[in-house]
Amino acid sequence: MGIKLANNAISRLSGNITNSATTITLISGDGAKFPSLAAGDFFPLTLVKASGDLEIVRATARSGDTITVQRAQEGTAAQAFLAGNGSSTFNLPDLRGEFIRGWADGRAVDTGRAFGSAQTDDFKSHQHNQQHNGTGTQSTQMPSGGGTLGTTTSVVLTTATGGAETRPRNVALLACIKT
């Protein structure tokens, strides 16, 4: 029993499916792009609408271009899908200018994140120390206002700002490696 993967296996549905269908049929000849399965084997399959809505299913059997699936896997909901025409009913995520971030899928990192979701940039919360030693005066402008430091050693701590981590804007994707 094990997970089987096929890099870049892409196809379209040959017919519409309801949200309760347990078999999907691909366009003629495309079934061969996907892994052959023995008893107990499976592969993850992502169904994507032109709108970007998606459903992850678990493929448990494949016979030619027909795949038997378990619906609504990995926190996604079962949906109805229309037959693919290659332009208005099929969509890949637009990753232009985006960083790809491996989807945590329940790991205690990036919790609450949905597969395929976009995330804005952020920087980890931090503060800055500003120190003045010696005589004379020093004026400084800080987020909480200005101040004058005298002849003693003074340390001023800025107000913390930022989030839980430093990251670029990104899209969560499932990393798959074919062995």
Residue range 14-61, pLDDT digits in tens: 889 999 999 999 989 989 988 889 999 998 898 888 777 889 999 999
Tell which wins on pLDDT, 179 or 76. 76
Q: Is the pTM of this model over 0.75?
A: no
| Tokens 């399959």 sit on residue | 45
Report the SS3 class of residue 32.
helix
Per-residue buried b or exposed e for 6-41, using 16+ beta carbons within 10 Å of the residue's own CB? eeebebebbeebeeebeebbbeeebbeebbebeeeb
Asked whether residue 91 carries a pLDDT value surpassing 70, the answer given is no
